[in-house]
Chain A
Amino acid sequence: MSTLSPAYNRDRLLQALVLAGLALVWEASSRAGWVHPFLLPPLSDVLTRLLTDMQSGAVFVDLALTLYRALTGFAIAAVLAVPLGILMARRRGVQWFFDPLISIGFPMPKIAFVPIFILWFDIYDTSKVIMITFSCFFPIVTATYSGTSHIDKWPLWSARALGASEGELLREIILPLASPSILTGLQIALPVGMITTIVTEMLMGGSGVGGAMIAAGRFADSVGVFAGIIEIAILGMVVIRGLDWLRARMLVWHPENRAH
């Protein structure tokens, strides 16, 4: 469908109207007293709070800390998991050792291990980042392994017959052909990493959006809680859209990005 078609524009307009309507209902229901303002503070109060926190800079400190923890853990997981996944698909010994461990670790709820990481690494950034790495690692390694081992054999054989070295094979054939799967793995891991970041911040404190929210919750500051939810919703959307954009950029050549 062309993005300029009138049907598409009408859809866009309707969706914007739906959102505006919801915002109005939210504002009206707490102003009119249909819902207790503690349970649902007026949207305008929440936005005012966001604005004052932005002016004082508190929002940006929390957002930056959360983002830093999430992306550091995510990046370390990617750096460890992508090479391991490729090695597992290319070397039988590596596959033999890691395949059972990863197939057991992949479906486990990793978040349950938070108290162990607190015990080992205390409650500061180290243990948060390690926990985030741990939870992002499995989806990435699984997707990379499966993507690399399903590469079509013909391009590999052709390249080898033409005298490509193992390094050239990796750069020219394996990485490009496995990249859609690797990116899918990253796209699965990132939301998991965000969830983990928020939970570790709630449990261990040390600022960040999660820490600020749980503090607001404990002090029965429901405006603060809603402000935190809006911050996290925006952060989550920006991060996930960013990765979608990266995928479209990296896979320009891939049929999935042909204009529909």
Chain B
Amino acid sequence: MAGGGIRPLAGEQERGSLVVMVALCVRYLPVLIMLALWELAGRSGLVSQQMLPGIGAIASAFLDLLSSGELIMNAWRSLSRAAAGLGLAVMIGMTVGLLMATRPLFRTLINPLVRILYPMPKSALIPLVMIWFGLGDASKIFLIFLGCLLPVIVSAYNGARGVNPFLIWSATSLGASQDEVLREIILPAALPDILAGCRTALAFSFILMVSSEFVIAKDGLGFLIGSLGDGGNYPAMFAVILTVAGTGFVADRLFGSFVSHRLRWKEQA
């Protein structure tokens, strides 16, 4: 059957690293094919080098940006803003979501706001944060915070609401206080949902970081991309874009392996 595929037997993995290497090459061969097509398109003159710089040109532009410190400085500015916004959103969002699930009055008060803000495309707030906080760090941190907050609130709320009530009743009847119930029962049970929400928030933080820097910024990766593009330095522009894309990819993968490590107690579905 095509869907399930044929999985390698456990014994096959013991045949040494060579098999693993070959398997990796076969798996990522399509990526190499795409890169070769990219290079060929430029070399053959099918697409102008201006529109699609060769891989070599992009790599050397990347090394130049790296050695001049420009890339590192702007990446640091961008990533520290994203981390600040995301970190605040995770802390406050988790608290609000758990409180919504455990305190009915709190839910009634907050729910209307969540329902209005949740479906709203957060990039629409870029001009607003520009008016409120100007062009500096605060505007971007606030935007990233707001964008990441809603997925965390909703996932913490849903996760905490889905906790099996028998567990809570048992703990309470065994004399657990409200705090203990929250810490020992609700939080662990809601953790898979919360972490999934944080992963969504991580993706949003990158999207909002880059788009806010495209529109309003004096530094950061998005600003660097824009200014390189305006200057017509396309190999460098491609290099920074690929750096942003790669950083987003690596951040997601790192978070993913953190999640599977953290949730290793959970039965695999």
> Do B34 and A199 have beta carbons less than 8 Å apart?
no
Bound form: Cα–Cα A154–B54 in Å: 50
Q: Which residues of A contact B125 (CB under 8 A)?
A: 229
Which residues of B lie under 8 Å from residue A210 when comparing CB positions?
A: 123-124
Task: Tell me if B's interface is mostly helix, strand, loop or mixed.
Answer: helix
Q: Which residues of A contact B183 (CB under 8 A)?
A: none
Given contacts A15-B108, A107-B252, A233-B116, contact A90 B4 (CB under 8 A): no
Q: Return chain B residues, CB-CB under 8 Å to A183.
A: none
Query: Please, which residues of chain B bring their CB within 8 A of the CB of A214?
Result: 126-127, 215
Chain B interface size, under 10 / 10 to 19 / 20 to 34 / 35 or more: 35 or more
Complex Cα gap A95–B124 (Å): 37
Q: Please tell me if the beta carbons of B3 and A236 are within 8 angstroms of each other in the complex.
A: no
- Nearest Cβ on chain B to A1's Cβ, whole angstroms: 13
Once the chains bind, are A199 and B214 in contact (CB under 8 Å)? yes
Q: Which of A56-64, A74-82, A111-119, A245-253 contacts B (4 or more CB under 8 A)?
A: A111-119
Q: Are B116 and A11 in contact (CB under 8 A)?
A: no
Number of interface residues of A (CB under 8 A): 68
Number of A-B contacts (CB under 8 A): 168
Whether a CB of chain B sits under 8 angstroms from the CB of A191 is yes
B229 and A115 within 8 A (CB): yes
A213 sits at the interface (CB 8 A) = yes
How far apart are the CA atoms of A123 and B117 in the complex, in Å?
A: 29
A202-B123 contact given A19-B112, A222-B131, A225-B128, CB 8 Å threshold = yes
Binary contact track A202-214/B, C-beta < 8 Å → 1, others 0? 1100000110011
Tell me the smallest distance from the CB of B110 to a CB of chain A, in Å.
9
CA–CA, A156 to B203, complex, Å? 36
- Report how far A97 CA is from B225 CA in the complex, Å: 30
Q: Give bound CA distance, A209 to B123, whole Å.
A: 12
A229 touches B128 (CB 8 A): yes
Q: Give Cα A210–Cα B211 distance, bound, in whole angstroms.
A: 12
* Interface 0/1 of A19-58, CB less than 8 Å to B: 1001000000000000000110000000000000000000
Q: Does B87 contact A (CB under 8 A)?
A: no
**Which residues of the other chain, A, contact B238 by a CB distance below 8 angstroms?**
116
B31 lies within 8 A of A100 (CB) = yes
Q: Which residues of B contact A99 (CB under 8 A)?
A: 27
**Residue in contact with A199 in the complex, picked from B116, B131, B211, CB distance below 8 Å:** B211
Chain B nearest CB: distance from A125 CB in Å? 18
Query: Is B119 a contact of A229 with CB atoms below 8 Å?
Result: no
Give the residue of A89, A90, A97 whose beta carbon is less than 8 angstroms from that of B30.
Answer: A97
Residues of B within 8 A of A229 (CB): 120, 124-125, 128
User: How far is B221's CA from A210's CA once the two chains are assembled, in angstroms?
Assistant: 22
B230 to chain A, nearest CB (A): 9
For the complex, is A84 an interface residue (Cβ under 8 Å from B)? no
The docked-state distance in angstroms from the alpha carbon of A230 to that of B206 is 24
Could you tell me the distance between the alpha carbons of A111 and B109 in the complex, rounded to whole angstroms?
Answer: 35
Q: How far is the CB of A143 from chain B (nearest CB, A)?
A: 14
* Chain B residues closer than 8 Å to A22, beta-carbon distance: 113
Which residues of the other chain, A, contact B127 by a CB distance below 8 angstroms? 202, 213-214, 216-217, 225, 228
Q: Is A195 an interface residue (CB 8 A)?
A: yes
The reply on B111 being an interface residue by CB < 8 A is yes
Alpha-carbon distance between A192 and B207 when the two chains are bound, in angstroms: 9
Is A18 a contact partner of B226 (Cβ separation < 8 A)?
no
B101 to chain A, nearest CB (A): 15
A148 interfacial contact with B, CB 8 Å: yes
Partner of A240, one of B28, B119, B122, B222: B119
* Of the residues B26, B117, B124, B203, contact of A228 by C-beta under 8 Å: B124
Chain B residues whose CB sits within 8 angstroms of the CB of A112 once the complex forms: 210, 221-222, 225, 241, 244-245, 248
Per-residue A-contact encoding for B202-223, CB less than 8 Å = 1, 0 else: 0100110111001100000110
- Asked whether A72 is an interface residue with its Cβ less than 8 Å from the other chain, the reply is no
In the complex, residue of chain A having the shortest beta-carbon distance to the beta carbon of B121: A194
Contact yes or no, A113 B241, CB < 8 A: yes
- B interface residues with partner A (beta carbon < 8 Å): 1-5, 26-28, 30-31, 34, 51, 108-109, 111-113, 116-117, 119-128, 130-132, 203, 206-207, 209-211, 214-215, 221-222, 225-226, 229, 234, 237-238, 241, 244-246, 248-249, 251-253
Q: Nearest 10 pairs between A and B by C-beta?
A: A217-B127, A107-B252, A109-B206, A194-B121, A108-B245, A232-B124, A112-B244, A109-B248, A240-B119, A199-B211
10 A-B residue contacts at CB 8 Å?
A104-B249, A110-B245, A111-B211, A119-B229, A148-B3, A196-B123, A199-B214, A213-B124, A214-B127, A237-B116
